[in-house]
Structure 1
Amino acid sequence: MKRDSLLALLAAYEPEPGLEAEMHDDTVDFVKQHPDCFERSLLKGHITASGWVLSPDKDTVLLMHHRKLDRWFQPGGHCDGDPDVRTVAMKEVMEETGIADLQALQKGIFDVDVHLIPENKDIPAHYHYDIRFAFKAAEGQEIVLNSESKDVQWIPVAQVQDANNSESIMRMVRKTSAL
C-alpha cells in the first residue's frame, strides 16, 4: 500500500506530549482513512512535507517569507502523489531556496503539524498534514528565490520568534537543541 511507508514513519515517531501528540494521532487517522492522502485534489486536506534546515554550525535556520500567506515558514509543499515524504521535503527545500546539498539530522520525522490553509480563490479552506524533517545544509550554497517566496534568509535560531512566533515554529526551535 502506498501509505505504508508514511504509516511506519509515524509509528516510529514520538511526538511531544499535548498538541503535537494530538496532531500526530489526527495525521495517522487521516492517512488510514484516505488512500488519496498524498493528492492535493483531496479537498479536505492532504499530506505535505517540509524541511527544518540548519546551517552547518546549527546556529541559523533557513526560512522563507511565503508570498501568499505573507509569513515566514520553513520550506515545504505538496506531495502531489509521491508517498516518499522525506524526498518531497528535500525537493521542496531545493525548489524554494536553491539549497540542494542536505544531510538528514535524524533517521525519522522531526515534527508533525496539522494546520488550516485559508480559502484562496477557487480552492476551499483545507488542512495540511505536514511531515517535517530536520536537515543540515552543506557549506557554501547560494540561496535562490522562486515565485512562492518574497525572501529567503538564514535566521539565527535564537531570533526565529521575531520572524514567526507561532507554536508550530517555536516547537521546532525548542527541538533544535537536541539535534
Structure 2
Amino acid sequence: MLLGWSAPSGEQERLRTEFLEHLAGHPDGTDRGCGSGHITVGVVVFDRALANVLLTHHRGLGRWTQLGGHCETGDADLVAAARREAAEESGIPGIEVEPSPLRLDRYRARCRGRDLLHFDVQFAATAPPRAVPEPAAGGDEARWFPVPALPFSADESTRSLVRHALARRGLNP
C-alpha cells in the first residue's frame, strides 16, 4: 500500500520512505513483537454530516485520541486492520474506512513494557447513520465530539488528523 501511496507533502514523503525502510529491514515490522517498532493504524471516524468525530479516551495515555491500534495476523491489509480496530474500540459495526491512507505519523509509545516506535498509517472513515458507540466491557470510553469542540486533552496529532481528513473532503475545519 505504501509503495503506491502518493504522499501529500515532503514531510509525508520522508515518513513514507522511513516506513518502507523499516518494513524492508524487518520482515516482522507489522507485528507488535518487532523489537525496533512496528506499523500501527489510526482511524479518524466521522458521522455522515462530517459534523462530529468519534474519539476514544485512551486510559494509558490519559487523553482523547483517534481510534486505532496494532495489526493482527488475521488482518488482510492495513485497511482491514483499521476497520477492525475502529469496530473493536467503538462497538460500531459497518464503519467505512477509505482505501487510501490519509497521512502517516511516527511516535514513541509504551508497548509490552517497552518504549517502542509506532509507525502509524492513518485513515479517514465514516460511521453508519445514527451510530452509537458501545465499546466492549472494560474497554476505553468512546464518544462523539463536535468537530469545532474537540476535548482539551486531544493532542496535536489527533487534531491534525481531523484537519487533514476534513481538508481531503474540501472542508475548512
TM-score bracket for the superposition, by shorter chain length: 0.7 to 0.9
Letter of the structure 2 residue corresponding to residue 66 of structure 1:
H
Greater helix content:
1
Letter of the structure 1 residue corresponding to residue 134 of structure 2:
V
State the Cα deviation string for residues 79-131 of structure 1 (Å, max 9, x = none): 13345111011111111111111223x4311121111003x6x6211011111
Letter of the structure 2 residue corresponding to residue 30 of structure 1:
H
Cα distance in 2, alignment partners of residues 96 and 130 from structure 1: 17
Letter of the structure 1 residue corresponding to residue 152 of structure 2:
D
Q: Percent identity?
A: 27
Tell me which residue corresponds to 2:87: 94
| CA contact 2:86–2:95 (8 Å) conserved in 1 | no
**Residue 3 of structure 2 aligns to a residue in which SS?**
helix
| CA contact 2:42–2:120 (8 Å) conserved in 1 | yes
Cα distance in 2, alignment partners of residues 165 and 39 from structure 1: 25
Return 5+ residue gaps in structure 2 as ranges: none
Q: Which moved more, 1:137-146 or 1:9-18?
A: 9-18
Question: TM-score w.r.t. structure 2 length?
Answer: 0.85
For residues 17-166 of structure 1, the aligned pairs below 5 Å read 17-81=9-73, 82=75, 84-104=77-97, 106-118=98-110, 123-146=113-136, 147-149=138-140, 151-160=141-150, 162-166=152-156
Shift of 1:26: 1.4
Question: TM-score w.r.t. structure 1 length?
Answer: 0.83
Tell me, yes or no, if structure 1 residue 10 matches structure 2 residue 2. yes
Shift of 1:140: 2.1
Tell me which residue corresponds to 1:4: none
Summarize the Cα distance change of 1:134–1:40 in structure 2 as closer, same or farther, 3 Å threshold.
Answer: same
Tell me which residue corresponds to 1:174: 163
Letter of the structure 1 residue corresponding to residue 158 of structure 2:
I
Cα distance in 2, alignment partners of residues 78 and 127 from structure 1: 12
State the Cα deviation string for residues 13-38 of structure 1 (Å, max 9, x = none): 23343543332221111111111112
Cα distance in 2, alignment partners of residues 12 and 126 from structure 1: 26
Return 5+ residue gaps in structure 1 as ranges: 1-8
Cα distance in 1, alignment partners of residues 11 and 62 from structure 2: 25
CA-based RMSD of the aligned residues comes to 2.0
